[in-house]
Structure 1
Amino acid sequence: MELDLMQLVANLGFPAIVTMYLLVRIEGKLDGLSSSINSLSSNINELNNKK
């Protein structure tokens, strides 16, 4: 694993590796945020329909 990482850094460069790492980490968080926003929207619509 460590050797593979070192080869990636040597071939692509440190900034490219950091960018790819951050994009992968942020993707999961954005999916969770999107799900929460959709749930909130549904709950607000449900509350508005009860009035």
Structure 2
Amino acid sequence: MNINELFANIANIGFPIAISCYLLTRLEGKMSDLSNCINELNRNIEKFIN
């Protein structure tokens, strides 16, 4: 494997993996916040009904 093939493999495989990991890390916090908001909304609806 020459240096050009190595760089091509990094560009074709490594870059998408890095971007995917970054986006999954960013979305994890937002999903946690969304889950907390949904749980709070559920509690408020239960209080309103009762």
Bigger radius of gyration: 2
Unaligned stretches of 5+ residues in structure 1: 1-8
Show CA shifts across 1:4-48 (max 9, x none): xxxxx67x6100000000000000000000000000000000000
RMSD of aligned residue pairs (Cα, Å): 1.6
Superposed, which structure 2 residues align to 1:1-51 within 5 Å? 13-49=14-50
Count the aligned residue pairs.
40
CA distance in 2, matches of 1:34, 1:13: 31
Give the TM-score normalised by the residue count of structure 1: 0.73
Q: Which residue identity does 1:20 align to in structure 2?
A: C
Unaligned stretches of 5+ residues in structure 2: 1-9
Give the TM-score normalised by the residue count of structure 2: 0.74
After the TM superposition, which segments of 4 or more aligned residues of structure 1 sit over 4 Å from their partners? none
